């Protein structure tokens, strides 16, 4: 049973639609094929036990589900963690876009497992960008080989997404710092799968100014260089709706020895190297959720008989299946395009768009997957419910989708007078394959942007989520139009692109309508009765 998108389809999209030229198409397809084999052959069979058994907490230790430790070793030894890391430190030096594309089948096959190498890769990206030469020489190699994993320690009990309220402290001691405080929602914060774990921790120095400008970033290992245990412990793990295999830890730092990464009081800008990489990874998780839910739903629909034949023949079931396929295709194109443009103004605009649009699409597709199964979808044994439970976290972590929408509004639209949005929409309208429907959608998006630039701040914020959906949908539509215009496109991808343009692109107009007519209750700051 296929769990993932065909690797040759993604390779074709990268080279013929997104303009990827870092390697030959055959080489891209070969890499993605190997990633798919690992995902479906090694990780997929562990997905069910990961959900049913989950990770467990025993006296401060975390026990992963059966088979996960062996699977992680196999994954690391195959070189997947260091696929995009610097060759000077043992990585393969391939494009981050290829690494992102290769991560999709991993997340499709086993989302809970995939979070561990994803965050390790993101910690590698952070150190490659902001670490000193000495830190790179000591810390990168063990993470690239998979001897260590990495975490992101931001959130605290009293401070969720608003990091200005971080209270964890860092006191200088010799050449290092003693870190104290409690961090929550730390993915794979404790486990026995590797010899060490490197925590990337936000904390305040004694002379730190108030607010987010006073946060510094520290690298804090679970074990010190002499093998002794650092002052880091896991107090508990959360009992969650989904991704049961992935332990979500409460981590306590009791004078743990750490080292400063980047300049003092500049931890949040440094951490953005890790956060942006993670947001693209989460975007691909949304795509993977949609694709996996689609694959399972198709397998069910072709054998489930109702009304004289398999339900896959019914137009309404086909509507749901093709919607799922189109959501996955549009999200894949959007996320990979954002990754390719990550160093440009367009990329900075599209990273939060991709994170939100793709994860919302993943939840929608997973919900449709349950619906295709009918009553059997509500029964855990079919597996459809797990996809919905697992997918539901993705619009929440790595910055809620509402926060991403405010980022798009304030940084992507208002801060530069709409330059990045204008450039994107101009490129869409100038495409020689742009249909009247795509041109109309781009014009609607431009009108929505113009309205937001003139709106009162609360009215603009009330429309931010809808505007993000507008930009995500019109960008994905533009990329789908490029697929549909190519006669040599993989047939299923070309059909899904047509469904996106016919059925999903029109959503732009309904989203835009809500932006320019905000409900008074959304803007009124009185409490909701």
- H or E segment at 61? strand 61-63
pLDDT band at 165 (very low <50, low <70, confident <90, very high): confident
Cβ pair 108, 101 in contact under 8 A: no
- Tokens 């929409």 belong to residue: 425
Structure tokens at 251: 């981590």
Residue, of 520 and 469, whose pLDDT is higher: 469
pLDDT band at 521 (very low <50, low <70, confident <90, very high): confident
Has residue 528 got a pLDDT over 80?
A: no
Q: What is the pLDDT of residues 425-441, one digit of tens each?
A: 999 999 999 999 999 99
Number of neighbouring beta carbons within 10 Å of residue 210? 9
Q: What is the pLDDT of residues 81-131, one digit of tens each?
A: 999 999 999 999 999 999 999 999 999 999 999 999 999 999 999 999 999
Domains 150-265 and 270-522 share a fold: no
pLDDT for res 506: 98
User: pTM of the entire structure?
Assistant: 0.97
Q: How far apart are CA 519 and CA 288, in angstroms?
A: 34
Has residue 524 got a pLDDT over 90?
A: no
Has residue 294 got a pLDDT over 90?
A: yes
Q: How far apart are CA 500 and CA 481, in angstroms?
A: 9
Q: How far apart are CA 272 and CA 135, in angstroms?
A: 18
Mean pLDDT calculated for residue range 266-293: 95
Has residue 420 got a pLDDT over 70?
A: yes
* CATH tag, 270-522: 1.20.140.10
Q: Please give the share of the chain, as a percent, with pLDDT higher than 90.
A: 93
- Tokens 């801060």 belong to residue: 415
Q: How far apart are CA 7 and CA 23, in angstroms?
A: 15
Number of neighbouring beta carbons within 10 Å of residue 8? 17
- With CA atoms as reference, report the closest residue to 106 among 77, 140, 82, 71: 71
Number of neighbouring beta carbons within 10 Å of residue 342? 18
Q: Please give the share of the chain, as a percent, with pLDDT higher than 70.
A: 100
Q: How far apart are CA 358 and CA 289, in angstroms?
A: 9
pLDDT for res 2: 85
Q: How far apart are CA 39 and CA 351, in angstroms?
A: 25
| Domain extent listing, the chain | 7-144, 150-265, 270-522
What Å distances lie between residue 270 and 145, 152, 213, 264, CA to CA? Answer: 23, 12, 12, 10
Q: How far apart are CA 468 and CA 466, in angstroms?
A: 5
Q: Which of 398, 456, 461, 484 does the annotation list as catalytic? A: 398
The topology (CATH level 3) of 7-144 is Butyryl-Coa Dehydrogenase, subunit A; domain 1 (1.10.540)
Q: Classify residue 122 as left (phi > 0), alpha (psi -120 to 50) or beta.
A: alpha
Catalytic residue check, 77 = no
Q: What is the pLDDT of residues 31-41, one digit of tens each?
A: 999 999 999 99
Mean pLDDT calculated for residue range 452-460: 96
Number of neighbouring beta carbons within 10 Å of residue 447? 14
The domain 150-265 having CATH identifier 2.40.110.20: the answer here is: yes
pLDDT for res 529: 61
Structure tokens at 492: 């299923």
């Amino acid at each position: 049973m296929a769990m993932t998108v065909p690797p040759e389809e993604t390779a074709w999209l990268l080279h013929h639609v997104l303009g990827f030229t870092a390697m030959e198409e055959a080489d891209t397809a070969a890499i993605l094929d190997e990633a798919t084999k690992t995902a479906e052959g090694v990780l997929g069979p562990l997905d069910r036990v990961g959900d049913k058994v989950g990770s467990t907490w025993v006296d401060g230790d975390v026990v992963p589900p059966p088979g996960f430790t062996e699977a992680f070793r196999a994954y690391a030894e195959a070189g997947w963690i260091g696929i995009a890391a610097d060759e000077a430190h043992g990585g393969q030096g391939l494009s981050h876009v290829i690494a992102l594309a290769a991560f999709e089948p991993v997340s499709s096959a086993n989302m809970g497992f995939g979070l561990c190498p994803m965050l390790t890769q993101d910690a590698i990206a952070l150190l490659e960008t902001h670490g000193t030469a000495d830190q790179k020489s000591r810390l990168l190699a063990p993470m690239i080989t998979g001897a260590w994993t990495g975490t992101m320690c931001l959130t605290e009990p009293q401070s969720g997404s608003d990091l200005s309220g971080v209270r964890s402290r860092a006191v200088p001691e010799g050449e290092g710092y003693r870190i104290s405080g409690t961090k929550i929602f730390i993915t794979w914060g404790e486990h026995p799968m590797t010899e060490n774990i490197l925590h990337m921790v936000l904390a305040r120095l004694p002379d730190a100014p108030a607010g987010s400008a006073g946060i510094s970033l520290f690298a804090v290992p679970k074990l010190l260089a002499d093998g002794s245990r650092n002052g880091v412990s896991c107090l508990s793990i959360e009992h969650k709706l989904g991704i049961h295999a992935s332990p979500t830890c409460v981590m306590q730092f009791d004078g743990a020895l750490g080292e400063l990464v980047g300049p003092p009081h500049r931890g949040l800008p440094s951490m953005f190297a890790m956060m942006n990489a993670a947001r693209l990874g989460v975007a691909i998780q949304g795509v993977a959720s949609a694709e996996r839910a689609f694959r399972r739903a198709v397998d069910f629909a072709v054998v489930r008989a109702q009304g004289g034949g398999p339900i896959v023949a019914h137009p309404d079931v086909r509507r749901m299946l093709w919607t799922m396929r189109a959501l996955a295709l549009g999200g894949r194109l959007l996320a990979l395009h954002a990754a390719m443009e990550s160093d440009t103004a367009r990329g900075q605009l599209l990273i939060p768009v991709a994170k939100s649009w793709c994860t919302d699409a993943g939840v929608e597709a997973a919900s449709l997957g349950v619906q295709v199964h009918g009553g059997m979808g509500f029964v855990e044994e079919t597996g459809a419910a797990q996809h919905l439970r697992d997918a539901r976290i993705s619009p929440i972590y790595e910055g809620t989708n509402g926060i991403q929408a405010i980022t798009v509004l304030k940084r992507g639209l208002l801060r530069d007078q709409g330059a990045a949005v204008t450039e994107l929409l101009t490129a869409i309208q100038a495409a020689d394959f742009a249909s009247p429907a795509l041109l109309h959608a781009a014009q609607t998006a431009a009108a929505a942007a113009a309205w937001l630039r003139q709106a009162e701040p609360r009215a603009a914020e009330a429309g931010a989520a809808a505007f993000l959906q507008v930009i995500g949908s019109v960008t994905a539509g533009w990329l789908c139009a490029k697929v549909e215009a190519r006669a040599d496109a993989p047939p299923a991808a070309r059909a899904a692109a047509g469904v996106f343009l016919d059925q999903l692109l029109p959503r732009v107009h309904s989203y835009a309508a809500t932006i320019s007519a905000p409900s008074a209750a959304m803007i009124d700051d009185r409490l909701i009765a």
